[in-house]
Amino acid sequence: MFVFSFKKGWNPDGKHCYVTGGSSGLGLALAKILVAKGAHVSIVARDQAKLDAALVEMEAARVSPSQKLQAKSADLLNATASTAALEAVCELYDGEAPDAVFTCAGSSKPMFFVEMTEQDMKDGMDYGYWVQAWTVWAVTKMLVKQKKRGAKICMVSSMLGLMSFAGYASYAPAKHALRGLADTLQSEFMLYDIESQIFFPPTIYSPGYVTENKTKPDVIKKIEGTDEGLTPEQAAEGMLKGFVRGDNHISADLLTDIFRAGTRGSAPRVNFVFEAIYDFISYVSLHGSTFVL
């Protein structure tokens, strides 16, 4: 077969992949794909029962008896716990840092800003930003200390890390913050040969989505009608495709592509031709009605 590629891809086979939030939704779907492609996969999440069930699904996807699959319970809301969780999954590898890290942990509780308590605001940042940032912080320190080169770290933001609307005053700031972190690290990581990537999924029909819909005001559900959403499997496939390709900003659907094109900042373009078209769509559809001359 003739394979033509401008870029060297990344192959999960034989790599140690660390997936946080790996017991359900996007994280679990991703973990299973990685297992099916021959990776050693470690997942962490909080709920032991869900982890046990997830490990059964991962085992079912196994392609080689030598693959190391593990699931550990951990809280990732602070630096100490995130470091401990990372060290725990690296024990099987004599403490060596993972080859790839996917921070899929997080949750959202949409509600109106005026109804938010102090705790709601703090939870938004904790479960949207810190739950991923502390793992990135711990992994980076470990990689740099071990002088391990070529590792890849991928955070999971959201379409709401590129734009926002009513209902997400605690969540959108956190998802924007992840983007700020990923873009900073994209430049700092050049010093250590680590790659910083970030995924902006649209709505994912996951257990977390069912939970957030319980508190979501009706008007917000209406606004979100234009976002058709993806299954966790579709989102994971799209995420991994961009990850393998080395995209710094990864999106997996057309609507996010358009927002990504319109908000990419200093991140390199993924595709020079399509993004020019998306830019144009973003330009006309989002802003065409606002003429101030």
Stretch of 15-23, 88-96, 155-163, 249-257 lying at the interface with its own copies (CB under 8 A)? 155-163
Which pair of structure tokens corresponds to residue 99? 């080859």
- In order of 40, 83, 96, 264, the CA distances from 86 in angstroms are 15, 5, 10, 31
Does position 205 interact with its own copies (CB under 8 A)? The reply is no
Q: How far is the CB of 242 from its own copies (least distance, A)?
A: 11
Q: How far is the CB of 183 from its own copies (least distance, A)?
A: 4
Q: Which is nearer to its own copies, 49 or 222 (CB)?
A: 222
Which pair of structure tokens corresponds to residue 18? 């660390």
Does position 259 interact with its own copies (CB under 8 A)? The reply is yes
The conformation of residue 2, written as its DSSP 8-state character, comes to -
Q: Which is nearer to its own copies, 66 or 290 (CB)?
A: 290
In the set 32, 37, 109, 175, the catalytic residue is 175
Q: For its own copies, which residue of 11, 48, 187, 211 counts as binding (CB under 8 A)?
A: 187
Does position 237 interact with its own copies (CB under 8 A)? The reply is no
Q: Which is nearer to its own copies, 76 or 181 (CB)?
A: 181
Comparing CA positions, the residue from 223, 114, 210, 217 lying closest to residue 164 is 223
Q: Tell me how far apart the alpha carbons of residues 110 and 169 are, in angstroms, rounded to a whole number.
A: 8
Q: What is the DSSP string of 52-101?
A: HHHHHHHHHH---TT--EEEEE---SSHHHHHHHHHHHHGGGTTPPPSEE
Question: Please, which of residues 56-85 interact with its own copies by CB under 8 A?
Answer: 78-80
User: Which residues, at least 6 apart from 7, have a Cβ–Cβ distance to it below 8 Å?
Assistant: 245, 246
Taking the alpha carbons at both ends of the chain, their separation in whole angstroms is 56
Element (H, E) at 177: helix 171-188
Q: For its own copies, which residue of 21, 167, 208, 238 counts as binding (CB under 8 A)?
A: 167
- Judged by DSSP in three states, 41 sits in strand
Q: Does 171 participate in catalysis according to the annotation?
A: yes
Strand order in the sheet with 69-73: 69-73, 40-45, 16-20, 100-103, 152-156, 195-199, 249-250
Does position 199 interact with its own copies (CB under 8 A)? The reply is no
Does position 287 interact with its own copies (CB under 8 A)? The reply is yes
Question: Please, which of residues 100-129 interact with its own copies by CB under 8 A?
Answer: 112-114, 116, 118, 121, 125, 129
Q: Does 32 participate in catalysis according to the annotation?
A: no
In the set 18, 129, 168, 171, the catalytic residue is 171
Does position 24 interact with its own copies (CB under 8 A)? The reply is no
Binding site for its own copies (CB under 8 A): 6-7, 78-80, 112-114, 116, 118, 121, 125, 129, 133, 137, 140-141, 144, 160-169, 172-181, 183-185, 187-188, 192, 245, 259, 262-266, 268-273, 276, 279, 283, 286-287, 290-293
Residues with a catalytic annotation lie at 171, 175
